[in-house]
């Protein structure tokens, strides 16, 4: 799942300064699940933005809507009428949702309400952790199911580096060293041969840094 | 077998106890200081490492500093970290440094950018330190770039160093990781600063069990402590270090902490000389490099005065 965090309200106040009527669009997908851009968050943000404008002695009309998944073009029409009535739209989806919305409603300013941060999941209530760096070339079969690309601070392939101590990463004594976790897992499963294996430089051309990369699949009609 | 035209390689090949030193280039654009340092150090050491933006702080480049030392008559070992350059920039710099007379390179991951003066920088980490070692070896032994393309002429022939940290965890894996580095092509090894001698002895025992000391010379890292503050800093702030309380206490209690630091360092070297498989010492006296001649003299390891290892 994609994990996002709400932008500070002050930032959104700044975004909406020049508008009188805005629409906050929540997303029913990941953004809802990670409690950043669902119905509840949209409603709370609407109250905050109206209140802020009131303090300035004017009024901001804020309406809200929710879309099943903003990253899916088939759901975007549902808010067409509401969009025509406002000056701008704030999308409370991940960066993908913002772009799909902006493309669908090309004549309208569509602004990001969230900061999209990582691909991960909840490890306990209210705590999400990164689990995948979208490297395009998954190596989890070599690392005991623990991702060094996203979970090692240096994304190294032949770890752990010399900064690993007491199971923790050199950059943060709270953060487990991914390679220490990998070592323990491989030790416990009798696969230390994988620790000894030299992994040659990774093919980073498979990750996200090479322009908008398409993924094709045959789709049944 | 001689692989490069490095003087350090010759010294280590003659099985003589080697002395290397670490120099941190300045945070400005004048080389006057390091050139002076080279004058002071050159008769006391076999080579000098030049750090590559150590602790992720911007400094004069290690290659440029290396050229200054080389011209001043002190053999440089340039350090290259994986933090700031991708494989293209690294190979380009390796070609360039070689063209300027540099023959030794030390490959390391590098401290994370978070520790330095630009914590917002994007860390590169295209390669890791073991992959870097492998790449430098392939430039030399196979005359190919990392991508596999043949280097038609003048492939750089470096003497390749790597680091080992006996004080990082998991301890049992540290010797195995060293072996990975050797298999990837490391010609010599320098260790993290040693304060916990017991742990280092254990590490060397495991090294000998696997016969690694016969494959590559290992230079043991030492660090003369200048003050109790420096000792505490090492103990608490430097990633991957172990400084026993007893050592911090000894410096703190000393009437003259500097003298105590030197005495301790000399005693450590005396001890290290006796450990089978230790081929020399690497003295890291960052910001106190001028003390190195005294330590070298007192420990009886001045070049030309080598004990066999
Ligand atoms: S190895 Fe790559 S694809 Fe697999 S989890 Fe890590 S980043 Fe994601
Ligand atoms: S300490 Fe572990 S997680 Fe942190 S950078 Fe080193 S290998 Fe990666």
Alpha carbons within 13 angstroms on the beta-carbon side of residue B161 total 29
Cβ of B60: how many Cβ atoms within 10 Å? Answer: 20
**Which of A133, A161, A202 to mutate to probe the B interface, most B CBs <10 Å?**
A161
Q: Is the pLDDT of residue A221 over 80?
A: no
Alpha carbons within 13 angstroms on the beta-carbon side of residue B29 total 0
Domain spanning A2-118: CATH superfamily: Response regulator (3.40.50.2300)
Q: Report how far residue B157's alpha carbon sits from residue B169's, in angstroms, rounded to the nearest whole number.
A: 33
**Which of B85, B131, B183, B189 to mutate to probe the A interface, most A CBs <10 Å?**
B131
ipTM comes to: 0.94
Segment B163-179 shows an average pLDDT of 97
Phi-psi region of A128 (alpha: psi -120 to 50; beta: other; left: phi over 0): beta
Closest of A162, A157, A198, A148 to residue B182, by C-alpha: A198
**Which of B79, B147, B170, B242 to mutate to probe the A interface, most A CBs <10 Å?**
B170
Q: Is the pLDDT of residue B186 over 80?
A: yes
CATH number, position B35 = 3.20.20.220
For residue B299, give Cα distances in angstroms to B189, B280, B292. 21, 12, 10
Residue range A54-67, pLDDT digits in tens: 999 999 999 999 99
- Provide the sign of the torsion angle of the four alpha carbons B22, B156, B69, B84, taken in this order: negative
The pLDDT > 70 percentage for chain B reads: 98
What 3-state class would DSSP assign to A151? helix
Q: Is the pLDDT of residue A183 over 90?
A: yes
Closest-CA distance, A132 to chain B, in angstroms, reads 17
Is the CB of A135 within 6 Å of ligand 1?
yes
pLDDT at residue A204 in the model? 93
Closest of B213, B210, B233 to residue B223, by C-alpha: B233
- Provide the sign of the torsion angle of the four alpha carbons B19, B75, B195, B27, taken in this order: positive
Q: Report how far residue A68's alpha carbon sits from residue A23's, in angstroms, rounded to the nearest whole number.
A: 16
Which distant-in-sequence residues (6+ apart) come within 8 Å of B140 by Cβ? B3, B4, B155, B156, B157, B158, B160
Which distant-in-sequence residues (6+ apart) come within 8 Å of B34 by Cβ? B23, B25, B26, B60, B65, B68, B69
Segment B131-145 shows an average pLDDT of 98
Q: Are B90 and B145 in contact (CB under 8 A)?
A: no
Q: Report how far residue B221's alpha carbon sits from residue B16's, in angstroms, rounded to the nearest whole number.
A: 17
Q: Does A16 touch chain B (CB under 8 A)?
A: no
CB contact under 8 A, B239 and A162: yes
**B231 within domain boundaries:** no
CB contact under 8 A, A160 and B168: yes
Is the CB of A150 within 6 Å of ligand 1?
yes
pLDDT at residue B125 in the model? 97
CB contacts, 8 Å: B146 with chain A: 201
Separation of CA A181 from chain center: 24
Alpha carbons within 13 angstroms on the beta-carbon side of residue B52 total 21
CB contacts, 8 Å: B170 with chain A: 160, 164, 180, 183-184
Q: Report how far residue B139's alpha carbon sits from residue B53's, in angstroms, rounded to the nearest whole number.
A: 24
Residue range A76-116, pLDDT digits in tens: 999 999 999 999 999 999 999 999 999 999 999 999 999 99
DSSP string across A106-120: TTS-EEE-EEEEEEE
Cα B137 to ligand 2 centroid, rounded to whole Å: 25
- If you take atom 8 of ligand 2, which residue's CA is the nearest one? A152
CB contacts, 8 Å: A198 with chain B: 130, 134, 180, 183-184
Cα B80 to ligand 2 centroid, rounded to whole Å: 18
Chain A's closest residue to B239, CA to CA, is A163
Pocket test for ligand 1, best of A2, A133, A155, A207 (most atoms within 8 A of CB): A133
Q: Report how far residue B231's alpha carbon sits from residue B234's, in angstroms, rounded to the nearest whole number.
A: 5
Is the CB of A181 within 6 Å of ligand 2?
no
Segment A184-208 shows an average pLDDT of 94
Q: Report how far residue B68's alpha carbon sits from residue B25's, in angstroms, rounded to the nearest whole number.
A: 11
Using a 10 angstrom Cβ sphere, with 0-12 exposed, 13-18 middle and 19 or more buried, the burial of residue A67 is buried
Q: Are B234 and B284 in contact (CB under 8 A)?
A: no
- If you take atom 6 of ligand 2, which residue's CA is the nearest one? A161
Average pLDDT in chain B: 95
Q: Report how far residue B45's alpha carbon sits from residue B282's, in angstroms, rounded to the nearest whole number.
A: 9
| Verdict on whether the full-model pTM lies above 0.90 | yes
Segment B210-214 shows an average pLDDT of 97
The total number of structural domains in chain B stands at 1
CB contact under 8 A, A166 and B130: no
For residue A147, give Cα distances in angstroms to A144, A157, B10, B12, B173. 8, 10, 42, 40, 19
Residues 159-188, chain A: which have Cβ within 8 Å of B? 159-167, 170-171, 177, 180, 183-184
Question: Sorting pLDDT into bands at 50, 70 and 90, what band is B238?
Answer: confident
CB contact under 8 A, B239 and A180: no
Q: Report how far residue B47's alpha carbon sits from residue B11's, in angstroms, rounded to the nearest whole number.
A: 10
Q: Is the pLDDT of residue A208 over 90?
A: no
DSSP string across B203-216: HHHHHHHTTHHHHS
pLDDT at residue B64 in the model? 98
**B230 within domain boundaries:** no
Cβ of B193: how many Cβ atoms within 10 Å? Answer: 24
Q: Is the pLDDT of residue B107 over 50?
A: yes
Cα A165 to ligand 2 centroid, rounded to whole Å: 9
Q: Note down the domain range covering B194.
A: 7-225+276-299
Q: Does B300 touch chain A (CB under 8 A)?
A: no
Is the CB of A175 within 6 Å of ligand 1?
no
pLDDT at residue A210 in the model? 65
**B252 within domain boundaries:** no
pLDDT at residue B97 in the model? 98
**B173 within domain boundaries:** yes
Comparing CB atoms, the residue among B163, B170, B176 nearest residue A162 is B163
Give the residue extent of every domain in chain A: 2-118, 133-199
Q: Is the pLDDT of residue B309 over 50?
A: no
Question: Sorting pLDDT into bands at 50, 70 and 90, what band is B305?
Answer: low
**B181 within domain boundaries:** yes
**Atom number, ligand 2, closest to the C-alpha of residue A154:** 5
């Amino acid at each position: 799942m994609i994990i996002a965090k709400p932008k500070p309200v002050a930032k959104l106040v700044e975004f909406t300064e020049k508008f009188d009527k805005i629409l906050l669009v929540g997303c029913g997908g990941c953004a809802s699940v990670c409690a950043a851009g669902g119905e509840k968050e949209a409603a709370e943000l609407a109250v905050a933005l109206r209140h802020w404008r009131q303090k300035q002695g004017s009024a901001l009309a804020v309406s809200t809507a929710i879309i099943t998944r903003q990253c899916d073009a088939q759901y975007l029409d549902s808010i067409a009428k509401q969009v025509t009535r406002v000056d701008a739209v704030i999308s409370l989806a991940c960066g993908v949702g913002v772009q799909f919305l902006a493309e669908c409603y090309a004549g309208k300013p569509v602004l990001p309400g969230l900061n999209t941060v990582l691909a991960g999941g909840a490890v306990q209530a209210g705590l999400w952790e990164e689990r995948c760096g979208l490297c395009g070339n998954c190596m989890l079969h070599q690392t005991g199911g623990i991702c060094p690309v996203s979970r090692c601070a240096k994304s190294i392939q032949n770890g752990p580096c010399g900064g690993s101590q007491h199971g923790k990463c050199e950059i943060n004594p709270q953060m487990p060293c991914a390679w220490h976790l990998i070592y323990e897992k491989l030790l416990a499963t009798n696969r230390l041969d994988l620790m000894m294996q030299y992994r040659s430089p990774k093919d980073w051309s498979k990750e996200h840094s090479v322009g908008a990369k398409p993924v094709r699949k045959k789709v049944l009609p | 077998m001689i692989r490069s035209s490095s003087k350090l390689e010759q010294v280590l090949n003659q099985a003589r106890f080697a002395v290397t030193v670490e120099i941190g280039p300045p945070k400005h654009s004048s080389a006057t200081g390091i050139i002076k340092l080279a004058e002071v150090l050159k008769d006391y050491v076999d080579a000098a490492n030049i750090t590559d933006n150590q602790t992720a702080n911007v400094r004069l480049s290690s290659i440029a500093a290396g050229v200054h030392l080389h011209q001043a008559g002190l053999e440089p070992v340039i350090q290259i970290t994986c933090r700031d350059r991708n494989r293209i920039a690294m190979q380009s710099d390796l070609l360039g440094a070689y063209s300027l007379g540099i023959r030794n390179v030390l490959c390391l991951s590098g401290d994370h950018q978070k520790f330095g003066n630009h914590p917002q920088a994007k860390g590169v980490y295209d390669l890791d330190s073991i992959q870097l070692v492998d790449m430098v070896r392939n430039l030399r032994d196979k005359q190919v770039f990392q991508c596999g393309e043949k280097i038609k002429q003048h492939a750089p022939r470096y003497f390749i160093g790597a680091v080992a940290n006996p004080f990082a965890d998991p301890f049992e894996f540290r010797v195995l990781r060293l072996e990975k580095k050797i298999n990837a092509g490391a010609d010599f090894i320098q260790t993290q600063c040693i304060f916990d001698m017991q742990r280092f002895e254990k590490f060397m025992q495991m090294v000998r069990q696997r016969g690694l000391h016969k494959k590559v010379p290992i230079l043991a890292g030492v660090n003369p402590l200048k003050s109790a503050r420096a000792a505490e800093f090492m103990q608490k702030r430097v990633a991957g270090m172990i400084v026993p309380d007893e050592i911090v206490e000894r410096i703190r209690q000393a009437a003259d902490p500097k003298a105590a630091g030197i005495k301790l360092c000399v005693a450590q070297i005396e001890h290290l000389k006796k450990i089978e498989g230790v081929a020399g010492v690497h003295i890291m006296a960052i910001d106190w490099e001028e003390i190195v001649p005294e330590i070298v003299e007192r420990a009886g390891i001045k070049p030309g005065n080598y004990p066999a290892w």
